[in-house]
Amino acid sequence: MAKKVREVSPKAKEVLAVLQASETALTLAELKDLVPNLNSSHLTALANRDLVSTEKVTKEVVTVTKREVNSYTAVPAVEADAE
């Protein structure tokens, strides 16, 4: 008995159309710029059905991180007692 495969979501179909129209491979971040409300599960569904292929690539990206730094303020001058 063959397992029934569910149809992909409309969002996954939209992603597939964008990938088919693209001349180059796109990353998830690049696809998110083109397709609003996209998440990785849409691409996973397409990859599981062999509708898209995936390849690990190394890209240079700018990241924002939080770290502890010193913050400085001036200390008010203390006047010497004149006696």
Chain segment 15-65, per-residue pLDDT in tens: 999 999 999 999 998 999 999 999 999 999 999 999 999 999 998 988 999
- Give SS3 for 43: helix
> HSE (CB half, 13 Å, CA atoms) of 19?
20
Give the mean pLDDT of 67-80.
85
Average pLDDT over residues 58-80: 87
Residue 30 buriedness (CB in 10 A; 0-12 / 13-18 / 19+)? middle
pTM: predicted TM-score of the whole model, two decimal places: 0.68
Domain boundaries, the chain: 1-70
